[in-house]
Structure 1
Amino acid sequence: MMEEITALSLLPPVLALVMIIVTRKVLLSLGVGIVIGALILNDWSFPEAIFLIWEVFAAIFIVDGALNDWELFIILFLFLLGMMAALISFSGGSRAFGEWALKRVKTRVGAQLTTLLFGILVFIDDYFNSLIVGQVSSPVTDRHYISREKLAYIVDSSAAPICVIAPLSSWGAYIITIIADILGTHGIQEVSGLQAFVMMIPMNFYAVTALLFLFLIIIWKIEIGPMKTFEEAALQGKGILTEKNTPGENFEMETKGKVSHLIVPILTLVISTVFFMVYTGAQNADNITLLSVFAETDVARSLLYGGSIGFIVALFLTLKNKPSFRETGQTLVSGLQSMLPAIYILIFAWLMVAIIDELGTGTYLAHFIDGTLPLFILPVILFVLAGFMAFSTGTSWGTFAILLPIAGEVAAVLDITMLLPLLASVLAGSIFGDHASPISDTTILSATGAGCHPIDHVMTQLPYALLSAVAAMGGYLMIGLTSSVLIGLGAAIAITIIIALSAKVRMTQQEKIV
């Protein structure tokens, strides 16, 4: 097995990412990366590499003879969600909701802003957000001929950025726990983990710039890069899931669907999931507080329980119209099949993340941070490093766990007053890397919830994420130079607006030429 962590640990993720972009074949690319990583770990012994891959795959579901329920529950939830979506479509609920919304949401801008608002409101968890917002919003965005790729971008860019700045979310609770440990390690008692987290919200420049840029993109009707192609196709009725190819729609019943066929199951799912998140958190917490409950909540189990109840309600409402057994069965199978591609990719992504963890890729990248770098540039360096680490490993949470303590140590050695800005830059960079990575589970789930191919989602979202990252880097450079959060935030916002205005002017000029 590999004993020393070297630059070779970067080969599997980089190779997989390059192959994904070049070939657009996600499973093949991830598979090559997994095999190369396993070969490196086993001194290029093929039999041992295959055995390691099997061990890692088995560990996704079973660890030390016990069921590893997190990944299994996520897969089961996806199957339930697929069947529920198919039933809603089969019963005519999607069409009815689309027609109802079309009378109230009059424009494409309105449909996108509605999706953005819903994404902000569902701040409890990014998995939950990514899957639910896309499912609920698609009937509205489809009616206004908005591409599923644009929907995925709106969903993804309003999920993690809002979760990472919301204290009462699974993300917030996790981050606050890490921050509290860092403060305790360095003897800082003036502020608690929660207080520090709240103080860091305006310092999380990427979350701010990503949300602001998304808002400006919508209201100024700006399309950048490959997204423009997909949006033009959608306006011609291509690239969106219409009545003819939505799961379950091929077997739509003659009975006219009702809005309640969509609203009731989705509301049931949301309310049930939130209830079980609170319930499981309260069960696991030593002292029951809002923060401790969300810190200890079992997200996967809550999604499974909430999804089960939502599916049962959707099935009940469908069966009330007395469809044939054959059509109902075909609809359920169609719903299951619609989730298979996403599940295959998700399993391969989990395998890749596990192999990368064994290789120590994140640890190798973390070694680039030390006390020899100039203090003013550290926020930018940490942002870039966290972004690359999350991009390469596909996990922002893993990046938090590795880089936040290192950022705390660097601040303690050089200038403790820079502690919170440095921690915030790690959080922001991790979200950026997560947005840009095709092996990130939230990227895959956002595409799944919106109903588009993951690689199309990555390639269309990437230009927006990069431009938001540039604006955030400008903010971190200013905070490093001035030590002023207000100046850094102002710079990040100003750069975001300038970039959006420039894109708007360029787009207008191109339209005039055409």
Structure 2
Amino acid sequence: MEGTIYSLIPPLIMLVLVLLTRQVLLSLGAGIVVGAFMLHNFSLGASLSEIWSTFYTIFYSDGAIQWGSLYLLSFLLLLGITTAFMTASGGSKAFGEWAINRIRTRKGAQFMPAILGIIIFIDDYFNSLAIGQVARPLTDQYKVSRAKLAYIIDSTSAPVTVISPISSWGAFIIGTIGGIISTEGLAELGELEAFMKMIPLNFYVFAAILLVFLTVLFKFDIGSMKKHEQRAETTGELVTKGKEVPGDLDSEFVEHSNGKVLHLLGPIIALLVATVTAMVITGIQGSEGDVTLLSIFASTNVNKSLFFGGLFAVLTGLILYLAQNKPKSSTSRVFLEGIKAMLPAIYILVLAWMIGTIVGDGGLATGGYLAEVVEKASITASYLPFLIFLVAGIMAFATGTSWGTFGIMLPIAGEIAVNTDAAMFLPSLAAVLAGSVFGDHCSPISDTSILSSTGAGSNHIDHVMTQLPYAFISALAAAVGYLLYGLTTNTFISLLVTIVIVFIIAFSFKPKQQNA
């Protein structure tokens, strides 16, 4: 069943269960179990062994500890503890009161995380988690639903990172493009030059970012997002009652009455400075040959850097908390509640990694099957970017990883383009990036979406379901853009039409009365 159409069954089962039950752990678990049984011809013993192996190899594989996984999971725990200190010290409340006197509208509260999402382009993980911690006190004050905040964060983090050459994503993509250019014998094209030329061809990215701002500006709340926003505005209920919300500590502490903005910004600044510093240091250590800004970001250890950033953030939060007069909660309780708050996110992330392994190249090879379909299809050159955009979207959705889709689809798209019409080389590569981000936005097993839910303090499935309509609107506009590009080969016109479609849809649903 490996590398066949049957490899799509586990992702489809997961999707159906998510839609029917809204239980992400159940859905992920079912996908893992079904995939393991399919891998081993429904042998009970071998399938159970596969599930166990998939779990422990997250932490230990090939005779070595998997530090990357441990660093990221530890960072989540550290972030939970940091959040607990910011809450217990009264820092979150103080920041909310400070910001509400300066940002005086509900729209302004939503614009802040959207703008921060564009400014902070270093890494999608860092973007998703850090912005949520800064923005949540303000958006809570203005009764913005956590699902809306998660959407704003998620739909700016990956889109900005994927078009930024100075980012973990950009460095990875540029390195991959360099290998493809060398393989295909395109010596006249430099990898950085190719990346920069691909930016305006990434139609989905521009559609998704634009839609975030139009959604805030015109109160373009559709589908389940409208229900979440109406409930938040009328009742103040920011999350769905009875659902797990990672990172939410609002009811766990009696906030210190003398909390200052410093008690929130101090740990966040420590997190930012320490993470960026660690990224530069690990990037220098990992660089081979001449050390450049690009080589630093290409070689940086993001998860290790996040861990050290989180560690410094916790230490800063602890020092500021202990310096307060008569803290309301014991330090041990702050640590414990911070850890407990992040456990739901960790459960989801571990299961997402497991099903990613099950459907990955070493398992059912779902991505490989989809890539093979593209390779064997007789594709007219003008439709190549459009079709690659769709296939990359499906692949990223099924596997939950943009990076995995990049690694599989970029070389294939490059080879097909060179052998059919070299003029479609860069548009096809750009379509891979666009489709990967689109699929990532739709997938409940996407690590970026999971961390966006965590940063915003939103129930994960609520976030996935509220984001879907916006992702499809952006994808529709991008798909039309790629079809038009195939007919005209004009980047400006194709991008303009993509943007115009997003504007038309947003204006069409613009409410007659708007609330600030």
Alignment counterpart, residue 478 of structure 1, candidates 457, 462, 484: 484
The whole-number CA distance in structure 1 between the counterparts of 2:313 and 2:191 is 36
**1:459-506 deviations in whole A, cap 9, x for unaligned?**
0000011001000011101111111111111111111111111121xx
Mapped to 1, the partners of 2:39 and 2:91 lie a distance apart of 51
Q: What is the aligned partner in structure 2 of residue 159 from structure 1?
A: 157
- The equivalent of 2:512 in structure 1 is 508
Match of 1:257, SS?
A: coil
Mapped pair 1:85 → 2:87: no
Distance 1:241 1:28, change over 3 A: closer
Q: How far 1:254 moved relative to its partner?
A: 4.5
Change (3 A) 1:304 1:374: same
Q: Distance in 2 between matches of 1:254 and 1:288?
A: 47
2:314 corresponds to which of 311, 315, 337:
311
Q: Counterparts of 2:260 and 2:248 in 1: how far apart (Å)?
A: 17
Partners of 1:314 and 1:192 lie apart in 2 by 45
**1:253 Cα shift?**
4.9
Superposed CA offset, 1:96-150 (max 9, x none)? 0000000110101111111111111110000110111111100111111100000
> Do 1:129 and 1:159's aligned partners in 2 also have CA atoms closer than 8 Å?
yes
Question: Structure 1 residues 416 and 258 mapped into 2: Cα distance closer, same or farther (>3 Å)?
Answer: same
- How far apart, in 2, do the equivalents of 1:359 and 1:409 lie? 24
Matching of residue 299 in structure 1 with residue 299 in structure 2:
no
Q: Contact 2:58–2:66 at 8 Å: present in 1 too?
A: yes
Q: Of residues 364, 368, 373 in structure 2, which corresponds to 1:363?
A: 368
Whether contact under 8 Å (2:279, 2:302) holds in the other structure is yes
Give 1:241 shift. 7.2
Alignment of 1:119-158 (within 5 A): 119-158=117-156
- Of residues 183, 186, 200 in structure 1, which corresponds to 2:184? 186
User: How far apart in 2 are the matches of 1:342 and 1:15?
Assistant: 21
Answering whether residue 425 of structure 2 is matched by residue 419 of structure 1, we say yes
User: Separation in 2 of the partners of 1:114 and 1:274?
Assistant: 22
- Is it true that 1:228 corresponds to 2:226 in the alignment? yes
**Structure 1 counterpart SS, 2:121:** coil
- Are 2:393 and 1:390 aligned? no
Matched, 1:51 2:49: yes
Aligned mates of 1:102, 1:29 — CA distance in 2: 39
Distance, in Å, in 2 between the alignment partners of 1:190 and 1:213 is 37
- Distance in 1 between residues matched to 2:476 and 2:484, nearest whole Å: 13
Q: Structure 1: which amino acid aligns with 2:381?
A: L
TM-score, L = length of structure 1? 0.96
1:272-307 alpha-carbon deviations (Å, 9 max, x no partner): 101101110110001210111000100000000010
Q: For the Cα contact (< 8 Å) 2:256–2:327, is it kept in 1?
A: no
Q: CA deviation at 1:5?
A: 2.1
Distance 1:254 1:262 in 2: 12
Structure 2 partner of 1:496: 502
- Tell me how far apart the structure 2 counterparts of residues 116 and 399 of structure 1 sit (CA, whole Å): 26
Larger displacement relative to structure 2 (181-190 or 257-266) = 181-190
Equivalent pair of 1:251/1:327 in contact (CA under 8 Å): no
Q: How many residues align?
A: 504
- Name the stretch that deviates more: 373-382 or 390-399: 373-382
Separation in structure 2 between the aligned mates of residue 308 and residue 473 of structure 1, nearest angstrom:
43
Shift of 1:250: 3.8
CA distance in 2, matches of 1:365, 1:253: 52
Deviation at residue 444 of structure 1 after TM alignment: 0.6
Identity %: 50
Q: Which residue of 2 aligns with 1:212?
A: 210
Q: CA–CA distance in 2 between the matches of 1:500 and 1:479?
A: 23
| Structure 1: unaligned runs, 5 residues or longer | none
Say if 1:99 and 1:190 are closer, same or farther in 2 by CA, change over 3 A. Answer: same
| Partner of residue 104 from structure 1, selected from 102, 105, 111 | 102
* 2:150–2:463 contact (8 Å) kept in structure 1: yes
- Structure 2 unmatched runs, 5+: 241-246
For the residue of structure 2 that corresponds to 1:472, the secondary structure is helix
* Kept in 1: contact 2:239–2:458 (CA 8 A): no
| TM-score between both structures, scaled by the size of structure 2 | 0.95
Partner residue in 2 for 1:247: 249
Instruction: Rate the CA distance shift 1:46–1:89 in 2: closer, same or farther, 3 A.
Output: same
Q: For residue 446 of structure 1, what is the aligned residue in structure 2?
A: 452
Give 1:461's aligned residue: 467
8 Å contact kept, 2:35–2:364: yes
Cα distance in 1, alignment partners of residues 255 and 462 from structure 2: 32
Residue deviations 1:35-88, cap 9 Å, x none? 111111111101100101111111100112211011111111011100110110
CA distance in 1, matches of 2:266, 2:256: 20
CA–CA distance in 2 between the matches of 1:301 and 1:170?
13
Matched with 2:275 is 273
- Per the TM alignment, residue 233 of structure 1 is displaced from its structure 2 partner at its CA by 0.9
Conserved? CA contact 1:17–1:29, under 8 Å = yes
- Equivalents in 2 of 1:421, 1:497: separation in Å? 23
